[in-house]
Amino acid sequence: MTVELSPIDRAKFVSAKRAAEFVEDGMRVGLGTGSTAAWLVRCLGERVRDNGLRIRGVPTSARTAKLARDVGIEVITLDDARWLDLTIDGADEFDQELNLIKGGGGALLQEKIVATASDQMIVIADAAKEVESLGAFPLPVEVIKFGWRTTQALIEETLISMDVMGRTSTLRMNGDQPYVTDEGNYIIDLHLNRIENTRQLALVLNQMPGVVENGLFVDICDVVVIGNSDGRVEVRDINEGTVREEQMDVGDSDNLFVDGD
C-alpha cells in the first residue's frame, strides 16, 4: 500500500535517506530497530535493487532482520561479521553531546552490542528527539526474568542516590503479559524525567545483579542526522566538530511503501 506521509514520517524518511549515503559498497552494516531505522532499511534495499549496492547487514532485532531480507539485503550475524564498518540506528532521545536513550522498541541489548562493535555509529532522528537533558523518555533497563521484582526494588533504591528528578519504574507490558525481548528478558522502564549524570547512572545500573543492560548510550554515537518534514537535514559530527545543513529531495516520498513499523 502507499499512503501520504505525515510530517513526522517525512522527517524520519529524509534523515534515513541522508544517512544511507554513508553506506558504501562492500560494507558490513549494523541495521537498527524502530520506525526511523525501518526507513533506512528500505532506502538501502532500494539501492541494492536499483544500483547494485553490495552490503551485508547485521540486524539488531528479528523484525529488522525480516524487513532487511524482504528488501533484498544480505543478512548475516555479528559472529559472522566479527566487526562492522558502520551502524545506523534511531534514538528515543539525544543530547548535545550525542548521548542517547534507546530501547523504546525493546531491542536495546542487541542495539548496544552492534553499535559498540562498529567503527562508527550514526543516529537518525527527527528534530523532536533532541533534548537539553536526557530522561523525559523512560529509560529502559533489560533484566533477567528470575527475581525481576527484587531487581526492580534494588534499582529504585539505588535511584535515591542518583541525580535524577523521578524515581518510579514500571515493568513493560505487551497487552496483559510482560514484554519479552528477543533475548528472552524483561524490560523495566525508569521514569526519571531528567538525568544529570548519564555516565554515572549507566555504570551503576550495569553493576546490579539481574540487570543485563540499560538504554543509555554514552560516548557511542559519532554522527547524528536530524530530519525535518520540509526535507532539511542537519548532519552533526561530534568527532570532527562540524555541523552541515542540507536539503533532501522528498518529491516522491509520499509514494513509498509504508507498513506501520
Which residues are identified as catalytic? Answer: 111
- Kindly list the strands in the beta sheet with 56-59, ordered across the sheet, starting from the edge strand earlier in the chain: 74-75, 56-59, 28-31, 86-89, 121-126, 223-227, 232-237, 242-247
- The set of cell numbers assigned to 203 is 555504570
Residue indicated by cell numbers 531487581 = 151
- Report the binding-site residues for substrate: 33-36, 89-92, 102-105, 129
Count of other CB atoms within 10 angstroms of residue 231: 19
Beta bridge partners of 174: 177
- Return the closest-CA partner of residue 24 out of 123, 119, 114: 119
Residue 107 to residue 26: CA distance in whole angstroms: 26
Residue indicated by cell numbers 519504574 = 169
Cα angle for residues 117, 119, 124 (degrees, 5° grid): 90
Handedness of CA 177, 182, 184, 190 (dihedral sign): negative
